[in-house]
Amino acid sequence: VYIPGNEYGPGLGYGPVPAGLAMYDCTSGASVPNTTTRNACARFVGRGLNYSPKWTSNLTAQYDFHVLGGTITPWVQLTYTADQWDTLWHASQDYIPQHTLLNARVAFQAQANWRLELFATNVTNALYVQGVSAGSGITPYSTLVSIGAPRQMGARIRYTF
């Protein structure tokens, strides 16, 4: 049933690595985990690619209310990103846990040429890992963690000439 002014949009993504895909690290001097062989090739068959979660999904909803000689549009979006890896080695320090974020905004579009919008991202102020990387040569056994953006709020005003 279509209701004028009502819009919603679910989305779902699935991205497994094909079972037959063979990826190798054959660089000179490569150090292969769990071996004592140098200059060997590491086989990464079936491992997820870097920053490639198996599942992502989102659910978005908005509705247009025609009031005050214009349109007020509330909008909300829920996104989910499954766990993923930072490198093909899949060592414990390369793991990025799953996270869910909620974003929202409300906009007023006047019949004239202006628009006012209030927005908030990461409404629940979720603490989540956005990326990881190995430490420098000075601290080889450390991991640098990038935390995702905290809650952010703002406003936009637009006038079209």
Q: Give the chain's mean pLDDT.
A: 80
Percent of the chain at pLDDT > 70 equals 67
Task: Say what the pLDDT of residue 1 is.
Answer: 44
Distance CA 157, CA 90 (A): 45
Distance CA 47, CA 107 (A): 43
Task: Say what the pLDDT of residue 40 is.
Answer: 54
Q: Which residue has the higher pLDDT, 27 or 6?
A: 6
Asked whether the beta carbons of 1 and 8 are under 8 A apart, the reply is no
Structure tokens at 11: 């989305």
Distance CA 25, CA 90 (A): 14
Q: Which residue has the higher pLDDT, 54 or 100?
A: 100
Q: Which residue has the higher pLDDT, 17 or 16?
A: 16
- Note the pTM of the prediction, 2 decimals: 0.73
Asked whether the beta carbons of 83 and 96 are under 8 A apart, the reply is yes
